[in-house]
C-alpha cells in the first residue's frame, strides 16, 4: 500500500511539473527583457568602411521601468493591428547604410519595434558637418511637398529633427499634409538653439505655424537616468521616455537608446499613433490625435512647456472606453388630467342654487314694494 501511495504522489508531482512547464511555455515572456546590446550612440556617425562591433552591456534601466513598459507597448501590441496599413515617413538624418548620422536609423528602429507592420519611408534632411550638423529646411520643404502629392490617408510624418531656420513654403507644406488627412509629428527641440535667456524655444523650431502638429518632448524613466535638459517649448503636446528603449544602430545592430532625446521620443509617439490608427482605420487624423491626448498618463508637476498633456500610454489609448456626452433625459409625455368623478346630485344642487337665487330676489323685491302697496290701501 505504501508503495502505491508513493507512486501516486510521484505521478501527481510529475503531472504538476508537466502542466506547469506547459503553462510556462505558453505564457508570454517579459517583452524586451534585459539582454546584451551595444549603446545606440556607439556608432553615432558613419566614417566609412566596416565598423567593428561595439562593446555590449545589458539594458541600462530595469525592465519594469523601461520606456516601453512605461508606455505599455507590449500590452498595446496584443490588442492592436501593430501599424498594419499605416505609412510612417521618417523625416530625419536618414536610415540607409549611407546615412552619416545615427538619428534616423535609431528612430526607424524604434518605430519598427513598436509598430512592426507599419511601412516606413526615408526622407533625410540633415547636413552633417565636421563640427556642426544642421537641418536643411529647404530640403525638408521639398520632402514634405513630395509626400503631399500622394494620398495622405493613413500617413504619419515624423519630423525627428526640426529645423532651426524657417524656409519659404515649409508651413504651407505642413498645412497641405494635414488638410489632406495626414498626421504630422515633430520633436519639440533641437540642440544648439537655446540660450541662457530662453524660456520658450517654440519660436526657434520650425515648422511651428500649425497647431495641429503633434509636438513631442522627452520624459525620464527612473532615478538611474543620466542628467539631461529638455528645452521648454510652449507648443509641447505630449511626452515619451527614451532612455533604455530597444532600437537599431546605424549599421543594423541591436542597441539600447542611451540618451533622453526628443527626436527619439517623436519616433515613439509616431509609432503609437500607428498602433491606434491601424486598429481604428475608419478614424480621421484628428480623432486619432484626440485619442492620444485624452489617454496620457499625467503626473504631478508635469505639463505645459515640458510634457504637455503627459506621458503617452499606448494601451489605454487602445482600450479605454470613450467618454460619451451625457445623454439627455428622455422626454416624458405628461399624464392626462384626471377626470372628475361624476356627481349624481350635481343637477339637483345646481337647480337648488338657481331657485334659491330666484326666491331670494323675489323676497327682496316684495320687501321693497310693500310700503308702496300699503300707502295705496290707506288712501282708498
For 144-161, write each residue's pLDDT tens digit. Answer: 999 999 999 999 999 999
- Binned at pLDDT 50, 70 and 90, residue 355 comes out as low
pLDDT at 9: 36
For 265-274, write each residue's pLDDT tens digit. Answer: 999 999 999 9
Give whole-number Cα distances, 294 to 17, 160, 169, 316, in Å.
45, 23, 32, 9
- Please report which residue ranges of the chain form alpha helices under DSSP H: 2-26, 67-70, 73-78, 103-114, 137-148, 170-179, 262-279, 285-294, 304-307, 314-319, 346-379
| pLDDT of 4 strictly over 50 | no
Residues 275 and 156 sit within 8 Å (Cβ to Cβ): no
Distance CA 142, CA 265 (A): 24
For 64-108, write each residue's pLDDT tens digit. Answer: 889 999 999 999 999 999 999 999 999 999 998 889 999 999 999
| Predicted TM-score of the model (pTM) | 0.77
Give the CATH architecture of domain 62-319: 3-Layer(aba) Sandwich (3.40)
- Binned at pLDDT 50, 70 and 90, residue 368 comes out as low
Q: Three-state SS across 17-40?
A: HHHHHHHHHHCCCCCCCCCCEEEH
Mean of pLDDT values over 124-137: 89
- Please, what sign has the CA dihedral across residues 194, 195, 200, 203? negative
pLDDT at 103: 95
Mean pLDDT of the chain: 81
For 272-319, write each residue's pLDDT tens digit. Answer: 999 999 999 999 999 999 999 999 986 544 556 677 899 999 999 999
Q: How many residues does the chain have?
A: 380
- Domain residue spans of the chain: 62-319
pLDDT at 269: 98
Residue that has been written with the C-alpha cell 530597444 in this structure: 246
Compute, in degrees rounded to 10, the torsion defined by CA atoms 66, 71, 77, 81.
Answer: -140
Residues 102 and 135 sit within 8 Å (Cβ to Cβ): no
Amino acid at each position: 500500500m505504501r508503495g502505491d501511495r508513493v507512486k501516486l504522489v510521484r505521478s501527481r508531482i510529475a503531472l504538476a511539473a508537466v502542466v506547469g512547464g506547459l503553462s510556462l511555455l505558453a505564457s508570454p515572456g517579459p517583452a524586451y527583457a534585459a539582454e546584451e546590446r551595444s549603446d545606440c550612440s556607439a556608432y553615432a556617425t558613419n566614417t566609412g568602411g566596416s565598423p567593428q562591433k561595439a562593446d555590449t552591456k545589458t539594458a541600462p534601466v530595469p525592465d519594469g521601468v523601461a520606456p516601453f513598459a512605461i508606455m505599455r507597448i507590449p500590452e498595446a501590441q496584443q490588442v492592436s493591428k501593430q501599424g498594419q496599413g499605416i505609412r510612417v515617413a521618417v523625416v530625419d538624418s536618414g536610415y540607409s547604410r549611407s546615412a552619416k548620422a545615427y538619428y534616423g536609423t535609431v528612430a526607424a528602429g524604434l518605430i519598427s519595434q513598436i509598430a512592426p507592420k507599419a511601412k516606413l519611408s526615408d526622407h533625410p534632411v540633415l547636413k552633417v558637418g565636421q563640427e556642426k550638423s544642421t537641418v536643411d529646411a529647404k530640403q525638408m520643404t521639398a520632402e514634405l511637398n513630395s509626400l503631399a502629392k500622394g494620398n495622405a490617408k493613413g500617413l504619419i510624418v515624423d519630423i525627428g529633427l526640426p529645423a532651426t531656420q524657417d524656409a519659404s513654403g515649409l508651413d504651407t507644406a505642413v498645412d497641405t499634409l494635414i488638410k489632406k488627412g495626414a498626421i504630422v509629428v515633430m520633436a519639440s527641440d533641437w540642440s544648439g538653439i537655446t540660450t541662457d535667456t530662453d524660456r520658450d524655444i517654440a519660436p526657434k523650431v520650425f515648422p511651428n505655424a500649425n497647431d495641429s502638429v503633434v509636438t513631442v518632448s522627452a520624459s525620464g524613466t527612473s532615478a538611474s537616468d543620466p542628467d539631461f535638459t529638455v528645452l521648454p517649448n510652449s507648443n509641447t503636446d505630449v511626452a515619451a521616455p527614451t532612455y533604455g528603449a530597444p532600437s537599431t544602430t546605424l549599421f543594423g545592430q541591436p542597441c539600447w537608446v542611451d540618451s533622453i532625446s526628443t527626436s527619439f521620443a517623436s519616433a515613439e509617439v509616431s509609432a503609437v499613433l500607428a498602433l491606434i490608427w491601424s486598429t481604428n482605420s475608419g478614424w480621421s487624423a484628428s480623432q486619432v490625435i484626440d485619442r492620444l491626448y485624452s489617454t496620457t498618463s499625467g503626473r504631478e508637476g508635469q505639463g505645459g512647456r515640458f510634457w504637455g498633456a503627459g506621458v503617452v500610454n499606448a494601451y489605454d489609448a487602445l482600450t479605454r472606453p470613450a467618454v460619451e456626452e451625457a445623454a439627455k433625459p428622455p422626454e416624458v409625455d405628461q399624464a392626462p388630467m384626471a377626470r372628475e368623478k361624476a356627481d349624481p346630485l350635481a343637477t339637483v344642487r345646481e337647480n337648488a342654487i338657481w331657485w334659491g337665487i330666484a326666491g331670494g330676489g323675489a323676497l327682496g323685491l316684495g320687501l321693497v314694494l310693500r310700503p308702496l302697496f300699503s300707502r295705496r290701501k290707506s288712501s282708498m
